[in-house]
Structure formats: structure tokens, C-alpha cells
Amino acid sequence: MIERVTSTLFSVEEQMFGTPPADSKKYATALAECIVSGAAIPGTPLLTNAGRDENRSLSSCAMIPVIGSTLDEATETKLLSHYKQNMGAGFDFNDCNDPVALLTQINNLAARETATGNYDRYIGNMGLLPITHPSIHQFIKAKRDREMKHFNISINVSETFMERAANKDLFSLSNGKQVQADALLYAIAENAWSHGDPGLIFLDRMNRDNPLADREEYAYVTTPPCAELGLAKEETCHFGYINLGSFILRRRGDIHIDYNKMREITHLLTRALDNAIEYSLSRYPSPLSASISRTTRRIAIGVCGLADVFLAYKLPYASAEARTLARDLLSFITYAAKCASIDLARQRESCPAMKFPANKYVHGSFLEEKYAQKPTHTVSAHDWACLASDIRNSKNLRNLSVTALAPSGRSSLLLDATSSIEPLFSIFSHDGTIQPRIVNFLMDELNGNADTVAQVCQMATLSGSFQQCELLPASIRACLKTAKEIEPMAHLQMAAEIAGVEGVVDEAASKTVNLPYDTRVSDVVDIFLQAYRLGLKNISIYRDKTKAAQPEML
């Protein structure tokens, strides 16, 4: 797999950019070593497609336009052409008279295609509807009464709506009908409480961080299935992941992050994903997808292993220190990827979007306002100002955006890392034993006392948690809290610090707040309001045991 992926990715170096064969081989070998060592990996759609079918692009998903209330033949053909490339899809149902009917038809198509057994990946979709749509009430409960395994659904909510909901004011739908905003938010919360859908997406906030939002054809209209970034009409995305846990250095009892190695690998992954775009341009199912990808060349570097880093540093996920460290790590990757993108622009030329009069990088103080206002220990305000000035004056930038935090589910499994920016999902491995990363953590904390570690693990196995193990100090137990044991506010604060409106990544983060079964609907309403107040760009919740087929979360 590694051979076919790396050879495919770097085949375009010689063909399109005149890179000497020896250098192309060097880059391919370096990426292969990253994958083998667990430091970084391309997204699984890329792993699935590269080198296996000459006609497939390397994209993860695409925005597919729909209109009306019926899945017509042309749209079905377009959908199938994307699904057959192992791509997910994002939909904007704003122009649909009956979005629930069309949602159902597309889901049934995905289910029918999956049943053929001809697909290498699960078909996933995102259905998005604005809060102002006349059919909003029906859409909110679309998944409550019918099975739709192939869709996540979300509501595009505005800040105006959230303010009206918080103040219990009236809110106008697009047809002029007035509704009670707080009742509408409660309906969203109640359905999310019941079965996990819908989530909330603040598309206006995503577009504020979109350098081309002022041009209609490049404004975001929906997201991929997990809402980690915005997508313009027929736009696609390419993902890769950096395993934060692989950069931990231990020296004479002290813990450090190898930022030099992180910079090198970020540069390499930026190059690899830019190659993935180049490879995909002639293979997209839609000419418009090729056009927008060629114009913006957006890539999405994400991470996994954040919870592994917190374990190494003995930091509870819910602590301010953990959030500071997360900002340091992610701001460094964003900065390094932009530096790499500048270097690529000098070698290969900038993306055409850098010549647009509406481009915020070139006109105004986009980067300074986005990042320099809240510098980190790894990237100063001066660093961001100098970078912004360089881009503004030279117009050198190969990729319009570079970082977004997708779930990294399959990729993190391949790297044996915790997923994305999430806390520990469970204390157990798939075979029911305590996770090795936790056993190793306990061995360090308990001075290598294997008998005590075994006793503690036995107690945790019986109770399903370390939180009742009085043999452990409270500080250690706090580090071992799983997703549903962490307070909702801590989930929200982490997402806000990294990927909210004052975050340190270009796009957003796929973030789920895991909740215990006894959570109330009113609690979910509060979580949604807090997500809004903290500046999140999207939020979803999942209450334990509300889906029969959920993964074990002991």
C-alpha cells in the first residue's frame, strides 16, 4: 500500500513540475518512512484510491448541488460518479422545496449502492439546511422517524438566530413566517438528544475565515460529512494527518516536543497534498471541481494523537494547560504549512486565487487579524505579521488554506493514535483489555510497580472507569477521564481554543460532545448556546446509548 501511494503521489513531481527523479524518490521515501514510523499519513480515501484505479481522483469528498424535491437522473449520475471514486458528499438543501424527500431519496441511493458490495469505503453524506428554510421543522426531525445511515444532518444557524433564541425572541423564516427562536432551538436539541442529529453549523463564521468569501462562486455553502471545513459549490478536499504523539521527546525525565521534526514533516505533507491536487485535476467527475481546485488548491492537514500528548505531559484534557499546549501545537503546524506553501509557490507558482482583487490575503490584514491577535508560545505575533507581509507583497501562496481538523478515525487507527483532538474515547482496547497507552502511563506514574498497575487495571475493568480507583491520586484519575466523563464545557473549550473564531487552524474541527445517558434536553440547549458564545464554527452532540449500533464506550 505504501509503495503504490507514495509512488502515485510523487509521480506528478517529474511529470508536471520537472523535479529531478532522485529528488522525487527522496520525497516518496521520506513520506513512506513517516507512515511506517507513525508520524504522518494521508487520509484514507487517498490511501484507498492512489495507484489502484487510474481514473480515480484522490479527494475525500465533494459538494454536489441539488435543487427541487426529486432526485433527477442527471443528479443521480453525478452522485454515482463521485461515490464510485470513494468520495463522500456535502449537500446544501436551501434550494429544495421538500428537502426531507430529497434527503431520503439520496440516502436510499447510497444504501442501494452500498448493498452491491462494489465500494471500498462507506458512503457518507452531509445534509445542510439553513435555519430560515420553511421546511426547517420537518428537516430537524428527518432522522428521528426513519433510518438514514448514510447521512449526517446539520442546521446552518446564524448568530442572529442564536441571539434571538437566547433572548426568547421571535425569528423570521424566509417565507415571512415568524417562529419562537428558543422553541426552534429546543426542537433541534431534542432531536439531537434523541438520536444524535442534527448538529449546528455556523457557516457565516466559516466564511469569515474564507479568503474568497466575497466572491459568490467561492463562498462556502456546505461542509463534508463531519463539518471540519467549508465547501463552495462542487469543491473537493484532500486530507492528511500528523500524529502529534510521535513528536514527544523524553530527556532525563523531561518531556519535550520535537518541533524541528514537526516542521519537516509538515512541509513534506503539504507538498504531498499539493501533489494530490495536481494528480486529481484530470480525474474529477466534474469540470467545475477541477476548476475550483486548480484556483484555490486548498488542502486540509489535520492531526491525531492529541490525547496521547496530554498523557505524556500528565495533563487532564479539561485543563487550561492542555488547551494552551494544544494551541501551541496546532498554531505551529498551521504556520509551518503556510511557510511550506510559500516555498511551493516559489517553485511551482501561486494558486490563481492570489491574483483575485477580493482575496483577503492580499487586500487587508487577514492573517494578522486571524492569528496575530492571540499568539502562542510557538508562533509569535511578529511571526504572523512577517508572514502576512511576505504573502501580501509577493503574492506567493500555493494553497489558500492548509489546516482543518477532520475526525481522523481510520487514519488514527492505522497510526495507533488517539483520534483528532478528542480525549480518550474508552479505557479499553477492542479485545476488552485496558489500552496499552494507559498501562504504560500507569507504569510511569506508579514507579513501575507492576502489581499495583495490575490491581488498578482490574478495578477499572470491573467498573468501566478509573474514576473510582482510590488507589490512584486524583491528578492521575483526571488524566484518564474518557470522552463521556469530561464535562461538556471542557469539550467546547478545547474546540474553541483550537478551531473557533479565535482558533489556530484555517478551517474548523469536527467535534462531538459525548454525553451520558441521563443528560437532559435542556442540557443540550445549554451546550448549543455555550458553543455559540465560545465562538465555535460547528458543534454536534451524542448521548450515550441513543443508537443501537454505537461503538462500545465503557
**Relative orientation angle of helices 320-348 and 259-280, to the nearest 10 degrees:** 50
Asked if the structure places residue 382 within a domain, the reply is: yes
* Residue that terminates a domain, selected from 394, 417, 447: 394
* Residue that terminates a domain, selected from 377, 394, 411: 394
Residues in the chain predicted with pLDDT less than 70, given as ranges, are 548-554
Q: Using CA of residue 289, residue 292, residue 296, residue 302, what is the dihedral sign?
A: negative
What is the model's pLDDT at position 147? 85
**Do both 115 and 153 map to the same domain?**
yes
| Global pTM exceeds 0.85 | yes
Q: Is residue 98 helix, strand or coil?
A: coil
Q: What is the CATH number of the domain that holds 309?
A: 3.20.70.20
Asked if the structure places residue 408 within a domain, the reply is: no
C-alpha cell at 292: 475550483
**Do both 199 and 347 map to the same domain?**
no
Q: What is the share, in percent, of the chain residues with pLDDT greater than 70?
A: 99
**Do both 282 and 303 map to the same domain?**
yes
**Do both 213 and 264 map to the same domain?**
no
Q: What is the share, in percent, of the chain residues with pLDDT greater than 90?
A: 92
C-alpha cell at 127: 445534509
Asked if the structure places residue 551 within a domain, the reply is: no
Asked if the structure places residue 81 within a domain, the reply is: yes
Residues 530-546: tens digit of each pLDDT: 999 999 999 999 999 88
Can you give the three-state secondary structure of 417-451, one letter per residue?
CCCCCCCCCCCECCCCCECHHHHHHHHHHCCCCHH
**Relative orientation angle of helices 21-37 and 2-17, to the nearest 10 degrees:** 150
Whether the Cβ atoms of residue 508 and residue 538 lie closer than 8 Å to each other: yes
**Do both 99 and 149 map to the same domain?**
yes
**Do both 264 and 196 map to the same domain?**
no
Residues 253-265: tens digit of each pLDDT: 799 999 999 999 9
What is the model's pLDDT at position 552? 54
**Do both 201 and 98 map to the same domain?**
yes
What is the model's pLDDT at position 549? 66
Asked if the structure places residue 374 within a domain, the reply is: yes
Residues 164-183: tens digit of each pLDDT: 999 999 999 999 999 999 99
**Do both 457 and 373 map to the same domain?**
no
User: In this structure, which amino acid lies at residue 78?
Assistant: K
Q: Using CA of residue 33, residue 36, residue 37, residue 38, what is the dihedral sign?
A: positive
Asked if the structure places residue 130 within a domain, the reply is: yes
Domain that holds residue 116: 61-237+523-546
What is the model's pLDDT at position 148? 92
**Do both 122 and 221 map to the same domain?**
yes
214: burial class by Cβ within 10 Å (0-12, 13-18, 19+)?
middle
Asked if the structure places residue 512 within a domain, the reply is: no
**Do both 46 and 163 map to the same domain?**
no
Asked if the structure places residue 404 within a domain, the reply is: no
Q: Is residue 179 helix, strand or coil?
A: strand
- Name the domain count of the chain: 3
**Do both 247 and 340 map to the same domain?**
yes
Cβ contacts of 138 within 8 Å, gap of 6 or more? 99, 100
What is the model's pLDDT at position 119? 87
**Do both 89 and 209 map to the same domain?**
yes
| Residue among 460, 478, 476 nearest 468 (CA) | 460
